[in-house]
Amino acid sequence: MADLRELHQALLDLLDELEAVTARPAPDEVALAALRYKLSRASSARRRLIESLCNRFEAQLPGAAAEPVRALRRSVAAVLAHTTEHVGNWGMADIVRDWPGYCHASFNMRRTMREQIEREKMVLYPLLESLGATP
């Protein structure tokens, strides 16, 4: 399984690619579809690893010490719900029909995803490092 740093960096790189694609005056449907697929796969892999790590740390940490991990788990679920809604609202036909609207929505979604990655780093990296593991 890829480590968390690799998954985070892969996602950030894909978000940068999406930012470049949405800076164009018109959608490139093929490139956008491929990029959205890659983002979905990378996000799923990250969520699976986060879930596994949260399970591990919630079992290991005593009481209140596990609260940041529980809060992280809740934020992952909230971002997943937001992402699912975004993808559902923006099928390829919708994107082509309203490119400026999609670009705006994509900007907001990218910001949300970057903020979530930062939360994950703040909570999980120190825990992993304290165990001598590579985040």
pLDDT in tens, 82-129: 999 999 999 999 999 999 999 999 999 999 999 999 999 999 999 998
Tell me if 28 is assigned to some domain. yes
Is residue 92, in this structure, part of any structural domain at all? yes
Is residue 135 a part of any domain in this protein?
no
| Nearest to 120, CA basis, from 59, 61, 52 | 52
Residue 2 — very low, low, confident or very high, per pLDDT cuts 50/70/90? Answer: low
Count: domains in the chain: 1
Residue 28: strand, helix, or coil: coil
- The span from the CA of 28 to the CA of 32, in Å, is 6
- Give the global pTM: 0.92
User: What pLDDT shows up at residue 1?
Assistant: 41
Dihedral-angle region of residue 132 (phi above 0 means left; psi in -120 to 50 means alpha; beta otherwise): left
d(CA 92, CA 2): 30
What range defines the domain where residue 22 resides?
4-130
Taking every pair of C-alpha atoms in the chain, what is the biggest distance, in angstroms? 53
Task: Give the mean pLDDT of 63-81.
Answer: 95
- pLDDT one-digit tens code per residue, 11-70: 999 999 999 999 999 999 999 999 999 999 999 999 999 999 999 999 999 889 999 999
